Amino acid sequence: MKNSKLFYLKMKSIVALLFFLCISCNSQTLKTDNKSTSSPISEKDVAKKDTIIDFESSEILKEVQPFVATASGKMQYLNWKIIKDNNTKVIMQQATNDGDYYNLLVLEKPVYKNFTMSAKIKAIAGNEDQGGGLVWRYSNNNNYYIARFNPLENNFRLYKVVNGDREKLKSVDFEIKSNEWFEMKIEMIENQITCYLNNKILIQIQDDTFPNSGRVGFWTKADAQTEFDDLTLKIVK
């Protein structure tokens, strides 16, 4: 009986240890979304020429290829659609999610390393968050740089998202009203990041977190409903 009890206690300890190790492993390993934009980047996908994307040839209320809708954070609702703003077609993030949930629309390819990227952005609505921005050197939905402007806070911020955790690199006060188009531009050369709003340099910083080529795209947080247009990417050699 004594041996049986000792065996039982040992087995219980082993099971508890295995359970702890399993929980620890899961907490340290963040799964990506298994979409094409989280697949390994190939050298053949690196951009060889400049890219300009507007949405005039896209169908209203349709998604847009070769963009892929995804998110950082526990999956909620993806809703990126082509709409008309006056006489111009734009892409809009229409979902009203909440919390630390980042709506992403990522260009599958080509990918870029050293470049300038610009886009027109307009904050339409959002109570928890507004506005949005651009992502780059994106390897998957949990690892990338992001610059964004928020009219509710009147600030322009640069972040990096590493294994799903967002870290602020720089913040600058700036004022742009909701329902007003503005242009955001990012210049990335090796580890040097320069961020512009309406042709004004507001952030300059060096960071080595993501040194390789990556995908690019659009970003909003939570319930920020935002329009984007005229994505322009120019290679810097």
Same domain? For 25 and 41 the reply is no
**Residue 30 pLDDT:** 67
Whole domain around residue 79: which residue ranges? 35-235
**Residue 22 pLDDT:** 41
Same domain? For 58 and 2 the reply is no
Same domain? For 19 and 43 the reply is no
Q: What is the DSSP string of the chain?
A: -HHHHHHHHHHHHHHHHHHHHHHHHHHH------SGGGSPPPGGGB-SS-EEE--TTSPTT---TTEEEEEESS-----EEEEEETTEEEEEE-----SS-EEEEEEEEEEESSEEEEEEEEEEE-SS---EEEEEEEEETTEEEEEEEETTTTEEEEEEEETTEEEEEEEEE----TT--EEEEEEEETTEEEEEETTEEEEEEE--S--S-EEEEEEEETT-EEEEEEEEEEE--
pLDDT, tens digit, 9 for 90 and up, residues 217-227:
999 999 999 99
What's the rounded Cα separation, in Å, for the pair 79 and 77? 6
Same domain? For 91 and 193 the reply is yes
Q: Which two tokens stand for residue 237?
A: 């050699």
Same domain? For 167 and 231 the reply is yes
- 71 phi/psi in degrees, rounded to 5: -160, 160
**Residue 237 pLDDT:** 87
Residue 8 C-beta-side C-alpha neighbours within 13 Å: 5
Same domain? For 128 and 18 the reply is no
Number of domains in the chain: 2
Same domain? For 64 and 23 the reply is no
Whose tokens are 């206690």? That residue is: 9
For the chain, give the number of residues: 237
Same domain? For 55 and 105 the reply is yes
Whose tokens are 């329009």? That residue is: 227
Same domain? For 12 and 124 the reply is no
Enter the pTM of the model. Answer: 0.86
Same domain? For 15 and 65 the reply is no
What's the rounded Cα separation, in Å, for the pair 127 and 48? 41
Same domain? For 92 and 139 the reply is yes
Residue 97 C-beta-side C-alpha neighbours within 13 Å: 24
CATH number at residue 113: 2.60.120.560
Which of 113, 130, 138, 118 is CA-nearest to residue 215? 138
**Residue 14 pLDDT:** 46
Q: Which residues in the chain show pLDDT less than 50?
A: 2, 6-9, 11-28
Same domain? For 56 and 161 the reply is yes
